[in-house]
Amino acid sequence: MGKGKSLLSVLLIAASVLCGCGNGAVPKDKGVQSDVPMQESGGTSGTEESWGAEEKTPDIQETVPYVQPEMKGEITISCLFAEEFLNTAAEQFMKQYPDVKVTVNSYKESSGESAVEDYRTYLNTKIMTGKAEDILFTGFLPITRYSEMGVFEDLSGYIQKTPELNDENYFMNVLQAAKEDGGEIYIVPYMARFDTLAFSAELMSEHRGNENDMQGICFGTAMDLAKQLVDETDKSNVFLIQMNEVSYTHYLIKDSVGQFIDGSAKNVNLDSPEYVALLESVKALAEKGYFGSDIDFYNMEYYFAAECDYDVQAAYYSMDTKNGVNHCMPLTDAEGRTLIKSNSCVAINSASENKDLSWEFIRYLLSDQVQTSPTFHGPTVSRKGLEAVAERYYALYQEGNGGAGFGSEAEYKAILKSWMEQINGCDTLDAAVMDLVDEENSKYFSGQQTAEETARRLKRQLEQYFNE
C-alpha cells in the first residue's frame, strides 16, 4: 500500500491499457451444452430452414462430427485501436486457410482526444448504410443500443453447437456472461477484465469490527468499512482510496445503476434527491481530506484504507497479506453480481453475408493457440490460456519485486481461477452513458454548477441520448 508498489502499478496499468476489455436465425442457447454441429452452409448465415429440423426434434438429435463451413471468402473486422493479438491472429488464420482473406480495419493507431466519439460516429454511419464490417470489437461501443437495434447477431446457437466450447476447456460462465434474459448472446468475451477491491493489511490488523464474511462486497459497502479504517487510525497521511471525486462517484453509481439509469427502459432518474445526496456526500468526503489530493507519492509515507486494482495484478499482491492487502476479491455490484467489462468482447454484424466464416474466426480467437499467446494481457476465457497468462504475470511480478514473492505460482493460479469462477455477468451499460455522467459530475466537483443543476442536466442529456 506504499510507494514501491505504486510506481510498479502505474507502469503495469499503462502497459495493460496500451496492449488492450440481433435478429439472426441461429437458435438460442437453452442452457444445455449440445454436441450437434452447425450445418455446412458455404460461409453464409444459417437460415430458419437449415436449423428448424434440429429445433423441432430436440429429444432425438444425433451426435455427428462438427462440420465447418467452406473456408473460403473474405471477412472484415472493425476495432477502434490496432491490437497486436488481433493482427497476429488474422495473419495466422489466413496461413491456416489460404482461401480466406481477413481484413482488420483499425480506426486509430493510438488513443487521442475525441477518438472514441469519432469512432462511434464513423461506425454508426457504416452500420446505417449497410457497409459495416462482419466482426465488430465492442470496446467503446453502445452495446445495449446496438443489441436492441438488431446490429449484433445472436451467437448463442454458435456457442451451443461448437464442440470444444465446454467447461473442461473454457470458463463457460465467462464465455456466456453477457447472456440476455431470453437466452440471446450478442457479445462474446475473448478476455475477462474485472476490478477487485482489497483493504490495507496494516489498518485491518488494528480494526476490531466484524469482517468475517466479506465475499462479494460491493463498492459502497467497502467504502463504508474503508472510512471506518481511516477514522479509527491514529496514523497521519491515511486516506480512503486512490481515486478522485469523479471516479469515486462513478463506482458508487455503477453499484446500483438501475436506481438511476435504466437503459433498456430508457428511464432516467438522476434528478432525484438520492442522486443529489450522493454527489453532496462525495464532495463532503473530499472537503474533509479523505481522498488526499495533495499526496506526494515519491517523498512521503501514505496509506490507503482500500484499494481498487485490476485482476492479474491484484491476485499477485493479494498474497502479501502481512504488509500489503487483506480480503482481496472481485468487486461486485449491489446485487452481488461479479461483472466483467464489455470492452474485451466481440460481436458479429447481423447484416454480414459471412456469419459462419466470421464465427470460425472468433472460434480461432478463442482457441488455445491464440489464447496462450503472450499478446494477451489479462485473464483469458480459455483455461489453458489462463494458465499461460498466470505464468507470465507471476514471473513479471516476481522480477519486479526482486524475486521476493509472497506466494507460489500455484497459489497465484488458484486465486485467478477462483475469481474467474465467480463471474456471473457482463457490464453492458453503454460507455457513452457513463462518459456523460462523469463529464457533468466533474463540473459539479470543480464548482461550475450545483448538485441540483448537475442532476437536471444529466437527466435531460441522457433522455435525449436514449431517444435519438
Q: What pLDDT digit, counting tens, does each position of 408-434 carry?
A: 999 999 999 999 999 999 999 888 899
Q: What is the pLDDT of residue 212?
A: 54
Residue 134 placed within a domain: yes
Most confident of 116-125, 185-194, 266-275, 318-327: 185-194
> pTM for this one?
0.83
Question: Is there a domain that residue 411 lies in?
Answer: no
Closest CA to 105 of 133, 73, 146: 133
Q: Give the pLDDT confidence of 182-225 residue by residue, as tens digits.
A: 999 999 999 999 999 999 998 988 777 665 556 678 999 999 99
Query: Is 281 contained in some domain?
Result: yes
The confidence score (pLDDT) of residue 11 equals 38
pLDDT band at 44 (very low <50, low <70, confident <90, very high): very low
Query: Which residues form the domain of 134?
Result: 21-190+342-383
CATH number (domain holding residue 281) = 3.40.190.10
pLDDT at 335 over 80: yes
Backbone phi and psi for residue 404, each to the nearest 5 degrees, phi listed first: -90, 80
Number of domains in the chain: 2
* Residue that finishes a domain, picked among 327, 357, 383: 383
Share of the chain above pLDDT 70, in %: 82
Can you give the pLDDT at residue 214? 65
Per-residue pLDDT at 51 exceeds 50: no
Does 305 have pLDDT greater than 50? yes
User: Looking at the structure, do residues 255 and 327 belong to the same domain, yes or no?
Assistant: yes
Q: Is the pLDDT of residue 36 over 70?
A: no
Same domain, 350 and 242: no
> What does the pLDDT average to over 391-412?
90
